[in-house]
Chain A
């Protein structure tokens, strides 16, 4: 692989033979893909397939063993600090500080991501208005229902207008109606040109992505639109596609 290869200008994430080994265990095995601006990119795979390891490398949190990747035009080896400034991240497990108020959480994250202090207050009011959370401005985050927390956490993750937002199982355990509202927020963000990189265990949500990858044993075994994947695997829905591919996993679960 030639590291001087030019990065396609319209691609926000470019991954070339990215590999991560832990001892003699290959967690991520020569993965290659590109993600376009404003795309909703679904990153699926069984537990232990290597999704989290791959995501950590793309966020600049873990050094690859070999291969290359550029995120928002920055090299993940040399420019990981620049990457961190132009991405947002949220997961089911870590999102907001429970003992801070709603507005305090927003101010904290906005500050960390370098939003100018003067702009934070009016942007906060605007955000709470859009979410219909005006009354909860002074509420402690721990008093909010889970679905609200997740919607707020997502909004906070894109508050600084990142180029890419990484979502790690953002809707786990959320009620069905709120799960759908959450996806409407994802669509809005994508319409604004934010690229969305999302993992989920809900296969109906895989259908909402522009393209979907399915990782098996550290490799990318499928990458296409949900429609093409279903045609190719002669499957009724994405769950069947997933079951067919993930059943091929040989790796003994660690």
Chain B
């Protein structure tokens, strides 16, 4: 990675100003403004079809906005920074008939890397990911998890300043997930700005410095987890009681009951009133007033969409 000047460091890695992108009659992103500070991990969340991928493609200059301004790594509305950006798309794309080494060398070359540097980086990354012996095998011979790690290497091979990961952990087993997570954190530690989209709210809570949520093309959340939780107040209650979720669903004022097994998580505007209602009906083993989880916040915002899509109800057995 080339050394950054102090002026560069002050500028955000990504800045979108009033960006709108439409496809025919459909507005995918509406008047979106966003700043991703340098060196942070920025999580993009939102239901399917809400505009995450369009936003990512706009940052990558794959899509041109209908209006608004896009600045990436200090380059405004051009592809000049594309060699300094790494991208892992949601749907993996590797040439099946090429060997792992040749695919990676090709992607590195497209990022402007010279052959010698690319060869060295390929060897290092394959070793780090435990794939050295697969270097000269064809991509079609790899398992899904291996192919995903190769795709990740393709995204980071040219040591990008900005790394955009679209659902990087989907389909990975826990061991490979940890390998990838460690690699991402290592890159972040060396100053790489990470933007990643995910449906895994727990992962977003753990990894992200900032969280951005887009819903039906509009920005609905943008800030640190603490800021976001503060916006949603302390109306989340965890209860452990006889009768479980079925009993709780019947109580007045109770919303969004998630059955966590031993406990149930729910929303109630007045925790004291809830406790008063519960006490005469059952034995209360656990009663905890807490901040809403990111998962809970996501559900609150996107619930209409999820209902429209006829997904399993969140009041059933959690998500």
A pairs with B: no
Residues of B that sit less than 8 Å from A by CB: none
